[in-house]
Amino acid sequence: MLYARTSAKTPIRFDLSGLPRELHLFPPVTSVIFVRFNYAVTQSVTDWQICYHPSGSPEIAEIEVNGILYKATYPHLLIKRPGDKLRSERGEGQSLYFKYAPETSLELPDDLVLQGLTPSPAISRLSGELQSELEHVFVPGSADRIDRLCMSLLSEFLLAMRSYPPECRQRTRIREAASYLYAHPMAYFSRLDDLARKFGFSRRNFARLWRAEFGTSPGRSLKELRFGEACRLLSSTDLTISEIATQLGYSEATNFVAAFRQYAHCTPRAYRLKYRA
Amino acid sequence: MLYARTSAKTPIRFDLSGLPRELHLFPPVTSVIFVRFNYAVTQSVTDWQICYHPSGSPEIAEIEVNGILYKATYPHLLIKRPGDKLRSERGEGQSLYFKYAPETSLELPDDLVLQGLTPSPAISRLSGELQSELEHVFVPGSADRIDRLCMSLLSEFLLAMRSYPPECRQRTRIREAASYLYAHPMAYFSRLDDLARKFGFSRRNFARLWRAEFGTSPGRSLKELRFGEACRLLSSTDLTISEIATQLGYSEATNFVAAFRQYAHCTPRAYRLKYRA
């Protein structure tokens, strides 16, 4: 998957340090390498190396870094820091890695050396994009895209290391429901029960888990969302009060005005006069 | 295109500052907004705002920043910095923008305020990804992805501003050819004429433009590439000398050995002994 366009014997190695960059928003990568390795390594590391090993043998990779032995199955991530001394047993496998200059500031946990990770669609996609970009490496702006893709990959590698225990699944589902509510507030302005059902919760369980996750009831969250939107529409648009009421799902503007007064302790009109930009 | 999943009246506004982040490799974005604006603005800016306006009216946007009037057609980019005072005429249009905290370090050119840009496929793709990610904003890791997408977008906005004059087209094509050579070195180890033809150059023009761009002849570049690869294979793999010769496109190992001696002033075997890790 990572190597679709590369035969095992044709490693891709790019020295990017000499290429022109147009922008400087990411730490500049010095080289990118896709390679099949099949040898033992004794290495004095001189730069940062972010190594992703999607597969290899033997099944358990053993790598000694600064005298400490680390073990991991594939796929895994190996972070090599400037000054590290590495020794590994004979093995073979695939490797995608990229390097940063020793003086680059990468804030990574100190205890992150060799760690198994879960392959993710984002990692495959970004690896593919990186390979495509390497086909245009001399074109202006390409080195910047490569910098960005490498930083994104590093970010996804780190995410893929966190494994969430099964008891977190309900929490994830509650957070998915919250995401949905915030992305589609109009659809749920008056139907929280539908939202609970859509994500497979009973009304009661939904309220309990929501409170545990966000420290407030789903109804309260919805109110904040609805009146936050009302405040924004009042202060930064020309919409009339009754247009705003309609947008927020009120059939009668007077109901909106009453609810708004209760929430904001002033009328919509007074709010608009006070905060209109 | 940017607004596929949003009606004109349903702006997407996300406050990300309270969301949990798993990683810290990018400057944390504080909010992301997709909105249709239709009002005049007088604004005291309190944070960094990276604003992309894909379309709008009137045709030429006029914005006064700190007393200086800037004009641009659509699409354009508007960078608002903490402390800026903005005034704009009444207008309407679409806006995608994201904010960073005032203390965020963004190294942008000082003279970059309002500037027209060429829409690019990368911008559309990243905008789409950003919108998808906003559907899962409460899921762990999502805020990090949003940070990364926003930085990538900023990077693409800046790239889209550079317009390369027509006389650069040949340079771009030469750089495309160089990229191709480096990505597929095996395919062209002995056929530079094919490479020139593939990218629409006569052999002579190809050599002339290559020299102007890279300061060396294409033959010399190819030699560096070929023997750089030979050195790597010798020092870091178990392949035999004749296997390496075959990989580099030599029909006879002795020819490879002779050429290598001329290049590196030692035999392949001596090189391997000296540099083998």
Q: Is the preceding peptide bond at A75 cis, omega within 30 degrees of 0?
A: yes
- Please determine, for residue A11, whether its predicted confidence score (pLDDT) is greater than 50: yes
Q: pLDDT band at B63, cuts 50/70/90? A: very high
pLDDT of residue A162: 74
CA distance B246 to B252: 8
Encode pLDDT of A99-133 as tens digits: 999 999 888 888 899 999 988 899 999 999 998 88
Q: pLDDT band at B7, cuts 50/70/90? A: very low
Residues facing B70 on adjacent strands: B63
Nearest residue to A78 via CA among A44, A112, A121: A112
pLDDT of residue A261: 94
Cβ–Cβ < 8 Å for A72, A114: yes
Q: CB distance from B155 to chain A under 8 Å?
A: yes
- Please determine, for residue B80, whether its predicted confidence score (pLDDT) is greater than 80: yes
Superfamily of domain A12-161, CATH level 4: Jelly Rolls (2.60.120.10)
Q: Are the beta carbons of B277 and A172 separated by less than 8 Å?
A: no
Separation of CA B123 from chain center: 11
Name which residue leads in pLDDT, A196 or B10: A196
Phi, psi of A188 (to 5 degrees): -125, 20
Question: Rg for chain B (alpha carbons), in Å?
Answer: 26
Which residues are CB-neighbours of B227 under 8 A, at least 6 positions away? B259, B260, B263, B264
What average pLDDT does chain A have? Answer: 85
Percent over 70 (pLDDT), chain A: 91
Q: pLDDT band at A277, cuts 50/70/90? A: low
Q: CB distance from B140 to chain A under 8 Å?
A: yes
CA quadruple B139, A122, B34, B140: dihedral, nearest 10? 10
- Please determine, for residue B134, whether its predicted confidence score (pLDDT) is greater than 60: yes
Distances (CA, A) of B143 to B19, B28, B32: 7, 8, 11
pLDDT of residue A26: 85
Name which residue leads in pLDDT, A189 or A36: A36
Nearest to A9 among B145, B154, B247 (CB): B247
Q: pLDDT band at B241, cuts 50/70/90? A: very high
Q: Summarize the confidence of residues A71-94 as an average pLDDT.
A: 92
Q: Summarize the confidence of residues A263-277 as an average pLDDT.
A: 87
Q: CB distance from B216 to chain A under 8 Å?
A: no
Name which residue leads in pLDDT, B138 or A2: B138
pLDDT of residue A10: 56
Q: CB distance from A35 to chain B under 8 Å?
A: no
- Structural domain boundaries in chain A: 12-161, 169-275
Cβ–Cβ < 8 Å for A39, A17: no
Give the number of residues written for chain A. 277
- Taking residue B25's Cβ as centre, other Cβ atoms within 10 Å add up to 19
Which residues are CB-neighbours of A111 under 8 A, at least 6 positions away? none
pLDDT of residue A51: 95
Q: Are the beta carbons of B23 and A155 separated by less than 8 Å?
A: yes
Best mutation target among B3, B12, B25, B239 (most A Cβ atoms within 10 Å) is B25
Cβ–Cβ < 8 Å for B28, B101: yes
Q: Which amino acid is at A184?
A: H
pLDDT of residue B147: 92
Which residue in this structure is represented by tokens 């409170």?
A211
Q: Which amino acid is at A83?
A: G
CA distance A242 to A173: 36
pLDDT of residue A235: 83
Q: Summarize the confidence of residues B163-191 as an average pLDDT.
A: 76
Q: CB distance from B238 to chain A under 8 Å?
A: yes
pLDDT of residue A2: 33
> What SS3 state is found at B72?
strand
pLDDT of residue B237: 76
> What SS3 state is found at A277?
coil
Phi, psi of B142 (to 5 degrees): -65, -40
Residues facing A87 on adjacent strands: A42, A64
Separation of CA A95 from chain center: 22
Which residue in this structure is represented by tokens 């539908």?
A194
Q: CB distance from B90 to chain A under 8 Å?
A: no
- Taking residue B27's Cβ as centre, other Cβ atoms within 10 Å add up to 18
Q: Summarize the confidence of residues B142-154 as an average pLDDT.
A: 91
- Taking residue A202's Cβ as centre, other Cβ atoms within 10 Å add up to 11
CA distance A76 to A160: 10
Superfamily of domain A169-275, CATH level 4: Homeodomain-like (1.10.10.60)
Residues facing A77 on adjacent strands: A52, A115
Q: CB distance from A144 to chain B under 8 Å?
A: yes
Tell me the nearest-neighbour CA distance from B185 into chain A, angstroms. 9
Nearest to B155 among A25, A38, A122 (CB): A25
Q: Summarize the confidence of residues A25-31 as an average pLDDT.
A: 89
Which residue in this structure is represented by tokens 């400490």?
A68
- Taking residue A5's Cβ as centre, other Cβ atoms within 10 Å add up to 15
Which residues are CB-neighbours of A16 under 8 A, at least 6 positions away? A28, A29, A30, A31, A32, A137, A143, A146
- Please determine, for residue B1, whether its predicted confidence score (pLDDT) is greater than 60: no
pLDDT of residue A30: 92
Angle subtended by helix axes A203-214 and A169-183, to nearest 10: 90
CA distance B2 to B159: 19
> What SS3 state is found at B95?
strand
Q: CB distance from B13 to chain A under 8 Å?
A: yes
- b/e per residue, A29-67, with b = 16+ CB within 10 A? bbbbbbbbbbeeeeeebebbbbbbbbbbeeeebebebee
CATH 2.40.160.10 fits B168-275, yes or no: no
Best mutation target among A19, A179, A246 (most B Cβ atoms within 10 Å) is A179
Cβ–Cβ < 8 Å for B233, B250: no
pLDDT of residue A107: 83
CA distance A266 to A272: 10
Encode pLDDT of A138-167 as tens digits: 887 888 899 999 999 999 998 888 766 656
Q: Is the preceding peptide bond at B58 cis, omega within 30 degrees of 0?
A: yes
CA distance B168 to B178: 15
Which residue in this structure is represented by tokens 């390795």?
A37
CA distance A166 to A185: 29
CA distance B155 to B224: 32
Q: Which amino acid is at B264?
A: A
Q: Lowest-confidence range among A35-44, A73-82, A106-115?
A: A35-44
Q: Lowest-confidence range among A43-47, A182-186, B221-225?
A: A182-186
